[in-house]
Amino acid sequence: MSKQINVALIGNPNTGKTSVFNALTGLNQKVGNYPGITVEKKEGVCKLPRGVKAHIIDLPGTYSLNASSLDESVVIELLLNQNDKDFPDIAVVVTDVENLKRNLLIFTQIKDLKIPTLLVINMADRMTYKGISLDIEYLEEQLQTKIALTSTRKKIGIDKLKELIANYKDVSSQPCIDISKIDDAYFGNLRKAFPNQLLYKLWLVITQDVNFGKTDRKDFDAVEDFKTKSEADLKRLQQKETIKRYQFINNVLKKGQTIDATQAKDLRSKLDRVLTHKVWGYVIFFFILIALFQAIYDWATVPMDMIDSAFAFLSEWTKDNLPSGAFTDLLSEGIIPGLGGIVIFIPQIAFLFLFIAILEESGYMSRVVFLMDRVMRRFGLSGKSVVPLISGTACAIPAIMATRNIESWKERLITILVTPFTTCSARLPVYLIIIALVIPEGRFLGLSYQALTLMLLYLLGFGTAVLSAYILNRILKIRSKSFFVVEMPNYKLPLFKNVFYTVVEKTKAFIFGAGKIILAISIVLWFLASYGPGENFNSAEEIITKEYASENLEVDDLDQKIAQYKLEHSYIGIAGRAIEPAIRPLGYDWKIGIAILSSFAAREVFVGTLATIYSVGNDDEETIKNRMAGEVNPILGGPLFTFASGISLLLFYAFAMQCMSTLAIVKRETNSWKWPLLQLVIMSVFAYIVALLAFQFLK
């Protein structure tokens, strides 16, 4: 039997660690979560020479083993727990040839844990460009490791890396630095108290706030002849440790690395001069945003229309070709339209993730953080809040998780609270269909009214987020230190492979995650809409036939009337009409009410719900949009979706907190029910009032 070895990929952010991971595993990868927390866990399988199989984990990017965030704690927890099933047989530290000095810091730390460690020096293609040359043999000897010089862009060195991993038994596990040199007395005592433990490991347990299984901090208090130090003293020691590590690294690199600055071409500073410019930087950022929204709206409509008609056709085909009966109805009226309501948004979501992935991969996002920090701080946010606010346009959940690198708790909390105002991709389906219904065609300055409306809605989302941040900043009395450190990575042409994997993975997760919920809800809704209690529902045919007996209706019209009557007296109709008084002032009928209620599972369910409700008992091959356009306002007559009710609905969806998953994540990230409940109540009440005012004013 071939043995499977555990490999952990570790490294600073922006070193191309994920590209190395992609190069090793290809599409043989799986993205999940670490149990109990929402840190993304990426793992994959790679076949190595001589039949060895490697299970590879791509650990979150971290600058050192001194964790300052949840993501970073994951790395330490794994490396300190030998009983973990993922505990690495070999650690692979990925570094960027241009930032070798800084990237080696974590390498020395892992070596000191006596874990066999390989060094990958990535982005080797940039060496000549930057005038860097390396003495690999010397470095291997000094760092006591094996080195793979790779370039994932040029596909160099990956085979060598696989070869080195396969020979993992030959890799040294000697430490780099003797930690006790930092403070002889202190570490001498520590060694005396725990003679069998690795000194650096003990040191990490003392200084880090993570969960270490068996070795617990309490054990330190229990031992009598060992007294730990005050926090300030510990920090001073950590500083000494860091200085010591850099001394070691500087010494090694002095001989092992030569940089000929005259050879270096500096594209970076040229780009930075423009992209972070006091004026041009902001202008360019603004145009990038405009381009993004125009593209999402314009490019995606073509495939979306195709998908819409394809599902309408499929629905019709099912009805005609399968034996008639309740289950066929469920398929053609419940499941297929419900699925259509989700599949139709694949193009847009893919575009959105594509843009975000490119902005992140290219290194541009950090420039935006730099540009926006001062502006955002005025509203109680951090420059780093820009990333959640932009990626919130995809989904608030990863956006809220992306707030973890905001150093100040107050800035982070405010970011978490306001992020759900940004227009997430789940709102997009609702916006698009309503815009298509109520906003007239036509152009203004070359932009279509519909695209402009969409852009206004995005601006409204951002505006509300920023404004409520300003208010929260005034109200919340939280004192917290405000730190702000952001790395400005090199500009890189985004790797097609990386962007492609991100888009595929995220879109897949979106479809299968939300898709299952939408499918289940469509089935339940269809059932509730197709069955009803009592006389009214069961003898609908007779009641209607009798009522219109004198009017001599066409068969088709009569069927339509019967179907309507049945729907109104089905379970869902009864429930819907019960809540109708609450939503009528906003301009909605009970069907929209049901769609809004089911939106609390996920906003995008709205379209699927309406599609299902409108298809029940409807035989024609129709697209969702046409069905909605055909709806008649039960009281006022005329189309149900007018300018007034449409705008009211758009505003309601812009402000209401309708995502249970977001509430759950906010609870988890803030560790309290207080904040998510506050969000739910305030946002929803605000949404109701604004929608009410809008409808009453416009009608």
Partner 1 sequence: MQDTLAQLERGESAIITDVSSIHIPLKLLEMGCLPGNSVKLVQLAPFHDPMYLNINGSHLAIRKETAAHILIEKVTHE
Partner 2 sequence: MNTIIQNILVFTAVVLAIAFLARKFIWKKKKSKKSCGGDDGCGCH
Binding site for partner 1 (CB under 8 A): 63-64, 66, 68, 98-99, 101-102, 105, 232, 235-236, 238-239, 242-243, 246, 268-269, 272-273, 276, 278, 366, 369-371, 373-374, 383, 407, 482-490
Cα 46-48-50 angle, rounded to 5 deg: 150
Q: How many CA atoms lie within 13 A of 529 on its CB side?
A: 28
Of 59, 85, 106, whose CA–CA distance to 6 is shortest? 85
556 phi-psi bin (left φ>0, alpha ψ -120 to 50, beta other): alpha
Chosen from partner 2, partner 1, none, partner binding at 273 (C-beta under 5 to 8 Å by type): partner 1
| Cα Rg, the chain, nearest whole Å | 30
In the bound state with partner 1, the residue whose beta carbon lies nearer, of 2 and 480, is 480
In the bound state with partner 2, the residue whose beta carbon lies nearer, of 175 and 515, is 515
Which residue is it, tokens 């992609």?
A: 22
Of 11, 136, 7, whose CA–CA distance to 487 is shortest? 11
495 belongs to the binding site for partner 2 (CB under 8 A) = no
85 belongs to the binding site for partner 2 (CB under 8 A) = no
Least distance between partner 2 and beta carbon 509 (Å): 5
- Candidates 1, 35, 224, 441; binder of partner 2 (CB under 8 A) is 35
Of 17, 108, 26, whose CA–CA distance to 500 is shortest? 26
Least distance between partner 1 and beta carbon 374 (Å): 5
Q: CA of 42: how far to CAs of 21, 32, 45, 71, 289, in Å? A: 9, 6, 11, 12, 30
In the bound state with partner 2, the residue whose beta carbon lies nearer, of 398 and 634, is 398
Separation of CA 487 from chain center: 21
Q: Which stretch binds partner 2 (CB under 8 A): 68-76, 120-128, 515-523, 612-620?
A: 515-523
Q: Which stretches within 27-123 are classed as H helix?
A: 70-80, 100-112
Chosen from partner 1, partner 2, none, partner binding at 315 (C-beta under 5 to 8 Å by type): none
Q: What are the backbone dihedrals phi and psi of residue 172, each rounded to the nearest 5 degrees, phi first? A: -70, 150
Strand partners, 47: 53
Q: What are the backbone dihedrals phi and psi of residue 322, each rounded to the nearest 5 degrees, phi first? A: -95, 155
> Of 368-397, which residues contact partner 2 (CB under 8 A)?
394-395, 397
Sort 17 into a burial class: Cβ within 10 Å, 0-12 / 13-18 / 19+.
buried
In the bound state with partner 2, the residue whose beta carbon lies nearer, of 455 and 665, is 665
Give the contact letters, 329-348, x = binds to partner 2 (CB under 8 A), - = no.
-x------------------
In the bound state with partner 2, the residue whose beta carbon lies nearer, of 13 and 398, is 398
Least distance between partner 1 and beta carbon 263 (Å): 16
514 belongs to the binding site for partner 2 (CB under 8 A) = yes
Pairing of strands 53-58, 40-47: antiparallel
In the bound state with partner 1, the residue whose beta carbon lies nearer, of 320 and 487, is 487
Least distance between partner 1 and beta carbon 352 (Å): 27
Cα separation of 546 and 301, whole Å? 46
Least distance between partner 1 and beta carbon 211 (Å): 20
Helix (H) or strand (E) holding 46: strand 40-47
Q: Which stretch binds partner 2 (CB under 8 A): 226-234, 380-388, 479-487, 521-529?
A: 521-529
Least distance between partner 1 and beta carbon 14 (Å): 10
527 belongs to the binding site for partner 2 (CB under 8 A) = yes
The beta strands (E) that lie in 232-359 are given as: 257-259
| DSSP string for 154-223 | TTBSHHHHHHHHHTGGGS----SS-GGGG-HHHHHHHHHH-TTS-HHHHHHHHH--S--TTS-HHHHHH-
Give the contact letters, 606-645, x = binds to partner 2 (CB under 8 A), - = no.
----------------------------------------
In the bound state with partner 2, the residue whose beta carbon lies nearer, of 44 and 334, is 334
In the bound state with partner 1, the residue whose beta carbon lies nearer, of 37 and 488, is 488
Least distance between partner 1 and beta carbon 357 (Å): 22
Cα separation of 34 and 41, whole Å? 6
In the bound state with partner 1, the residue whose beta carbon lies nearer, of 169 and 278, is 278
CB 657 within 8 A of CB 683: yes
Strand partners, 9: 58, 92
In the bound state with partner 1, the residue whose beta carbon lies nearer, of 186 and 297, is 186
Least distance between partner 1 and beta carbon 394 (Å): 25
Chosen from partner 1, partner 2, none, partner binding at 668 (C-beta under 5 to 8 Å by type): partner 2
Chosen from partner 1, partner 2, none, partner binding at 163 (C-beta under 5 to 8 Å by type): none
Least distance between partner 2 and beta carbon 426 (Å): 7
350 belongs to the binding site for partner 2 (CB under 8 A) = no
Say how many residues make up the chain.
699
Of 144, 148, 131, whose CA–CA distance to 9 is shortest? 148
660 belongs to the binding site for partner 2 (CB under 8 A) = yes
Chosen from partner 2, partner 1, none, partner binding at 235 (C-beta under 5 to 8 Å by type): partner 1
Q: At what angle do helices 590-598 and 605-615 cross, to 10 degrees?
A: 140
Least distance between partner 1 and beta carbon 12 (Å): 9
Chosen from partner 2, partner 1, none, partner binding at 36 (C-beta under 5 to 8 Å by type): partner 2
In the bound state with partner 1, the residue whose beta carbon lies nearer, of 257 and 564, is 257
Give the contact letters, 309-328, x = binds to partner 2 (CB under 8 A), - = no.
--------------x-xxxx
- Candidates 123, 164, 252, 517; binder of partner 2 (CB under 8 A) is 517
In the bound state with partner 1, the residue whose beta carbon lies nearer, of 246 and 500, is 246
Residues touching partner 2: how many (CB under 8 A)? 45
Cα separation of 623 and 608, whole Å? 12
Least distance between partner 2 and beta carbon 350 (Å): 13
Helix (H) or strand (E) holding 448: strand 447-448
Cα separation of 323 and 314, whole Å? 15
> Of 413-472, which residues contact partner 2 (CB under 8 A)?
424-426
In the bound state with partner 2, the residue whose beta carbon lies nearer, of 633 and 661, is 661
Least distance between partner 2 and beta carbon 330 (Å): 5
605 belongs to the binding site for partner 2 (CB under 8 A) = no
516 belongs to the binding site for partner 2 (CB under 8 A) = yes
Least distance between partner 2 and beta carbon 396 (Å): 9
Pairing of strands 29-33, 40-47: antiparallel
What 3 state SS string does 277-302 have?
CCCHHHHHHHHHHHHHHHHHHHHHHH
Cα separation of 342 and 522, whole Å? 11
Cα separation of 159 and 166, whole Å? 11
Judged by the rule CB under 8 A, the positions of this chain that interact with partner 2 are 32-33, 35-38, 323, 325-328, 330, 394-395, 397-398, 401, 424-426, 506, 509-510, 512-517, 519-521, 523-524, 527, 601-602, 659-662, 664-665, 667-668
